[in-house]
Amino acid sequence: MVDLSAISGTVMSGMSQTNASSQTLSADMNTFLTLLTTQLKYQDPLDPMDTAEFTNQLVQYSSVEQAIQTNSKLDTLLGLNISNLGAQAVSYIGKTAQVLGDVMPLENGKAMASYTFNKDVASATIMVKDMNGNVVYTESGEVTAGTHEFMWDGKDSNGNQLEDGAYQIVVSAQVPAGEAEASVTTTVFGRITGVASDGNGVYVGLGDAVTAGLGDILTVRDGDYFERLFADKGDSGNGDENQGDQEGASDADKELPSA
Q: What is the pTM of this model?
A: 0.62
pLDDT at 28 over 80: no
Note the pLDDT of residue 11: 38
CATH class of 96-254: mainly beta
Note the pLDDT of residue 37: 73
Note the pLDDT of residue 77: 67
Note the pLDDT of residue 230: 83
Average pLDDT over residues 218-239: 74
Residues in the chain, overall count? 259
Say whether 217 sits in a helix, a strand or coil: strand
pLDDT at 88 over 50: yes
- Cβ contact 157:239 at 8 Å: no
Of 53-57, 122-126, 136-140, 191-195, the poorest mean pLDDT is in 53-57
Give strand ranges (E) for the chain: 96-100, 103-106, 111-117, 123-129, 135-140, 146-152, 165-174, 184-198, 201-206, 210-213, 217-221
Q: Cα separation of 152 and 162, whole Å? A: 11
Question: Residue 166 — pLDDT band, cuts 50, 70, 90?
Answer: very high
Of 12-16, 183-187, 247-251, the poorest mean pLDDT is in 247-251
Q: Is 203 exposed, middle or buried (0-12, 13-18, 19+ CB in 10 A)?
A: buried
Q: Taking the CA of residue 123 as centre, how many other CA atoms within 13 Å lie in the half-sphere pointing to its CB? A: 4
Q: What is the pLDDT of residues 60-72, one digit of tens each?
A: 666 766 776 777 7
Give 24 or 18, the one with higher predicted confidence: 24
pLDDT at 4 over 80: no
Q: Is 223 exposed, middle or buried (0-12, 13-18, 19+ CB in 10 A)?
A: middle
The domain locations on the chain are 5-90, 96-254
Helices 51-89 and 5-41 cross at an angle (nearest 10°) of 180
- Cβ contact 93:192 at 8 Å: yes
